[in-house]
């Protein structure tokens, strides 16, 4: 089945996407630090099942536009990009599915544009409604004597100086650190934190073989994308969390009322730290059709593609 790459117009420029199949539209949104390629095992499976599947490069990644203004990466703009993609493809509605930051983008697309996104799939990072404390203040309190990685990413240029001299090596370590089969054991330094005086994330990444889901060729693809684009566009998502908090204040506490699906990893810090958000799903996702925890780490649709594909197809077929 033919895979088509195309560029469509969106709010701040252009969005690169990869399309396969025909039928009801399903939009796939990746997280950090990934690209459309993270859905390479979902595209053919969903297309064979009778869906028009589209995986995009989020603004700031791959061949999509990369505005210079950090404020151009706020959630409102990313939701507008997703709506523009649906319209550019000649469709009026779609199911949206996201992983990691893509899960948060997908969830807020469903929240803010329910007329466009008729259902939502959320992978790895649970949905929590807007509201609560200012994000930068909450993250600053998380580290104690150390600094949480989100705070580390929020300072322009700081993480870039760690990553960009050796993009391939850094990505390999980051993917390894959050993969179920290669993450460090109990008692090892937590790779989500850095020491406050000149520490790096990389010094805490485990060494050794690549995760079983990641070939040398896969790593080459990811590395080449970020070597070409740099990391600033991707990291600018973290630099808008306070803006999002302000922009989305009118939606504080709001549930997503469309049909929804959640799939997380049992060994993923995201599901462990945000277990309260999962417990709140009867209120925040009142039309949740399923909540599943798979035996894997963070990169769920790459670590467990067959299981994820089965759950996605069951969700889609029952809509």
Q: Give catalytic residue positions.
A: 100, 298
How are beta strands 146-148 and 193-195 bridged, if at all?
antiparallel
135 vs 4, 138, 216, CA distance in Å? 39, 5, 36
- Distance between CA atoms of residues 108 and 129, nearest Å: 9
Q: Which of 62, 108, 45 is nearest to 82 (CA)?
A: 108
Helix axes 216-229, 167-177, angle to 10 degrees: 120
Whether 23 and 91 have beta carbons less than 8 Å apart is answered as: no
Q: Is 43 helix (H, G, I), strand (E, B) or coil?
A: helix
Bridge partners of residue 34, in order along the sequence: none
Sheet with 288-294: list strands edge to edge.
Answer: 3-10, 13-20, 52-56, 25-29, 94-99, 117-123, 260-265, 288-294
Residue keyed to tokens 């204040």: 249
Cα–Cα distance for residue pair 142/155, rounded to 1 Å: 17
């Amino acid at each position: 089945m033919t895979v088509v790459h195309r560029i469509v117009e969106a709010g701040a420029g252009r969005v690169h996407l990869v399309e396969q199949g025909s039928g009801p539209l399903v939009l796939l949104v990746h997280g950090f630090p990934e690209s459309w390629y993270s859905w390479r095992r979902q595209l053919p499976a969903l297309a064979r099942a009778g869906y028009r599947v589209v995986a995009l490069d989020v603004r700031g990644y791959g061949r999509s536009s990369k505005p210079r203004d950090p404020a151009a990466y706020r959630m409102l703009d990313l939701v507008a990009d997703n709506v523009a993609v649906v319209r550019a493809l000649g469709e009026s509605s779609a199911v949206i599915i996201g992983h990691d930051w893509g899960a948060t983008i997908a969830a807020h697309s469903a929240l803010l544009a329910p007329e466009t996104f008729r259902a939502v799939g959320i992978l790895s990072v649970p949905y929590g409604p807007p509201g609560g404390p200012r994000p930068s203040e909450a993250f600053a309190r998380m580290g104690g004597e150390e600094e949480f990685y989100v705070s580390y990413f929020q300072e322009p240029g700081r993480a870039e100086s760690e990553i960009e001299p050796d993009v391939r090596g850094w990505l390999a370590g980051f993917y390894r650190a959050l993969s179920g089969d290669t993450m460090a054991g109990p008692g090892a330094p937590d790779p989500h934190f850095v020491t406050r005086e000149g520490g790096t994330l990389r010094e805490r990444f485990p060494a050794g073989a690549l995760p079983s889901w990641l070939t040398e060729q896969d790593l080459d693809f990811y590395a080449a994308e970020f070597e070409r684009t740099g990391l600033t566009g991707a990291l600018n998502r973290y630099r808008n969390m306070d803006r999002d908090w302000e922009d989305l204040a009118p939606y504080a506490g709001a549930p997503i009322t469309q049909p929804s699906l959640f799939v997380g990893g049992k060994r993923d810090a995201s599901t462990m730290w945000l277990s309260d958000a999962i417990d709140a799903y009867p209120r925040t996702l009142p039309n949740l059709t399923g909540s599943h925890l798979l035996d894997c780490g963070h990169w769920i649709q790459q670590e467990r593609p067959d299981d994820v594909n089965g759950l996605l197809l069951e969700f889609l077929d029952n809509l």
